[in-house]
Amino acid sequence: MKFASSPLLSQLLPAWRARFVAALILLAFGTLAARSVYLQVVRNDFLQQKGESRYARVIELSATRGRIADRSGDMLAVSTPVKSVWAIPEDARLSPAQARELAGLLEMDVRELNRRLAAEKDFVFIKRQIPPDTAEKVAALNLPGIHLQREYRRYYPAAEVTSHMLGFTGVEDKGQEGIELALDAQLAGKPGSRRVIKDRLGRIVEDVESIKPPQDGRDITLALDAKVQYLAFTHLKQALAEHKAKAGGVVVLDARTGEVLALANLPAYNPNNRVKLTGAQLRNRALTDVFEPGSTMKPFTIALALEKGRFRFDSQIQTAPGRLTIGNATIHDAHPHGLLTVAQVVQKSSNVGTAKIAGAFSPEEMWQMFDALGFGQPLRLGFPGEVGGRLRPFKTWRPIEQATMSYGHGISVTLMQLARAYLVFARDGDLIPLSLTRLESPPIAGKSVFSAQTAREVRAMLEMAVLPGGTAPKAQIAGYRVAGKTGTAHKLEAGQYADRYVAAFVGFAPVSDPRLLVAVMIDEPSAGKYYGGEVAAPVFAQVMAGSLRTLGVAPDAPLKPVQVARDAAPVPESL
């Protein structure tokens, strides 16, 4: 039987069934039409967005980081344009040979390159901040989906000389250390963006619009003087080599304004090339390392004695037989001196004399004086890792601890703290804040710590300390009157004093009208000499002499040779 004559074909289908199928078809067409109208009329932005995602890109526009200049306008940190290699992974279909060639140019593992190109992202960096010649070679390859983007890299002309003052930026041009971090908010610009159209190979064929223009960072003018900074760094480096020291630091302040004219530390690093950088090189020791200041603290104890009226400049103190027992501990002088005036206690750096003077005060009185000078608290200059040193509450002091703190043991400070505290003697007893940036006008007045009379009397004592018969004749400078104090202290290791030393000297000049203050710290000199008068004082003299002449400060003393004083052995300090 033929299929056409099958009895099944003679059966009539229900009329509702045909209508139902037709309704389903019409409903499907209606749904598609409604969806089409919805997408193309009501929500046309959806299709437009999907379409633009195939050819449109938003490109970030880098902002230029602000420049850093010294007080004279010489550039210390600038941003130079460089290129970075980036890719659109879905467009970067490289052959194995092309991947190997690109990886070779960029000095990277081809497996790392392929890993980045396999990322499910619209944008990936392949290599940041490459040299210009390498960028040209990459561009010449004309690889699909591989592009070059303009960025900025920080350059520091003075390299390691200003490394701890300036710090450095990371690959994203954000501050990581030093001034770059402390003032990052002012230096950092705000990146912009623009929308572009790209072809199938990812090449920009049309610049559509600027979404947000970039805002460049603000230029910063530091208080630092590049010439003074170079002097500080160079002479510190020479001293560390001569005395085979572990580390060291130099701080130079303007006594009139509190501006930081120089800050040098060693070991240092080259911020332009940080390939083999270690943590020890990064430490800004003048602000992060604390040490017992030793005899450099004696002038503050003496100033308190004068201020309270309990001793005078010429009051006599019996220091014989060169030792003083308090409880079960004994304080020693390096050499017995016998009867000394208060001024000679500073000049000869007598521990016994200073401890006897300190015994006239309550612990609270001494603590208040140390606190007013800023010890025991950070200076808050904005540098990373800045510490405040150690100044224990006075209620816990024992008599022997009060005595040793009077001459710089049992208390710890940073070099910057010590330098700032000495401003009270370079000025008329007031303490002003320090400034990293150049000031248009000096501060009117600071916080009064001592009277002007007290400051002048201690200033005279500090001048005696650098003359023959004092502890630092090697701090003298031809043509200038100098005042200052040496300090030598054992280093603490595991709670015990070891046979390692920190040598220090803090002083200012010219005494008739103090302009500059220089603080020097040499950590662990190991070539035989370790007293502050032998190790740190000569660095002070070299830095101060060069700085005064660089700034054109007029001499205040006859230009006579000081060689005799330099050859004379300084009076050893009492440790």
CATH of the domain at 444: 3.40.710.10
Compute the distance between CA of residue 507 and CA of residue 463 in angstroms, rounded to an integer.
Answer: 9
> Which pLDDT score, from 0 to 100, does residue 32 have?
82
Least Cα distance to 521 among 486, 567, 561 occurs for 486
pLDDT exceeds 90 at position 532: yes
Residue at 500 is within a domain? yes
> Which pLDDT score, from 0 to 100, does residue 228 have?
97
Residue at 17 is within a domain? no
Check whether residue 376 and residue 422 sit in a common domain: yes
pTM comes to 0.82
Looking only at Cα atoms, what is the longest distance across the chain?
146
Residue at 403 is within a domain? yes
Compute the distance between CA of residue 210 and CA of residue 361 in angstroms, rounded to an integer.
Answer: 71
pLDDT exceeds 80 at position 7: no
- Beta carbons of 322 and 337 less than 8 angstroms apart: yes
Residue at 372 is within a domain? yes
Check whether residue 86 and residue 216 sit in a common domain: yes
Residue at 388 is within a domain? yes
Buried b / exposed e along 263-292 (16+ C-beta atoms within 10 A): bbbbbbbbbeeeeeeeeebbbbbbbbbbbb
Check whether residue 210 and residue 104 sit in a common domain: yes
Check whether residue 124 and residue 261 sit in a common domain: no
Compute the distance between CA of residue 189 and CA of residue 147 in angstroms, rounded to an integer.
Answer: 24
Check whether residue 210 and residue 263 sit in a common domain: no
> Which pLDDT score, from 0 to 100, does residue 49 have?
66
User: Exactly one of 62, 84, 163, 295 is catalytic; which is it?
Assistant: 295
Check whether residue 180 and residue 252 sit in a common domain: no
Bridge partners for 195 per DSSP: 58, 209
pLDDT band for position 564 (cuts 50, 70, 90): very low
Residue at 483 is within a domain? yes
| Tokens at 452, concatenated | 């002007």
Average pLDDT score over residue span 422-429: 96
Task: Say which CATH number the domain at 64 has.
Answer: 3.90.1310.10
Check whether residue 354 and residue 238 sit in a common domain: yes
Q: What domain range includes position 76?
A: 58-221
Q: What is the percent of the chain with per-residue pLDDT over 90, rounded to a whole number?
A: 56
Check whether residue 157 and residue 255 sit in a common domain: no
Report for 441-450, 455-464, 492-501: range of highest mean pLDDT = 455-464
Check whether residue 232 and residue 121 sit in a common domain: no
Residue at 244 is within a domain? yes
Least Cα distance to 261 among 475, 500, 517 occurs for 517
Q: pLDDT digit string (tens) for 341-399?
A: 999 999 999 999 999 999 999 999 999 999 999 999 999 888 878 999 999 999 999 99
Compute the distance between CA of residue 220 and CA of residue 216 in angstroms, rounded to an integer.
Answer: 13
pLDDT band for position 439 (cuts 50, 70, 90): very high
pLDDT exceeds 70 at position 281: yes
Check whether residue 325 and residue 213 sit in a common domain: no
Say which amino acid occupies 229: Q
Check whether residue 240 and residue 215 sit in a common domain: no
Average pLDDT score over residue span 267-284: 85
- For residue 295, indicate whether it is catalytic: yes
What is the tally of structural domains in the chain?
2
- Beta carbons of 33 and 153 less than 8 angstroms apart: no
Check whether residue 185 and residue 214 sit in a common domain: yes
Residue at 13 is within a domain? no
Strands (DSSP E) found in 447-571: 447-448, 483-493, 496-509, 516-523
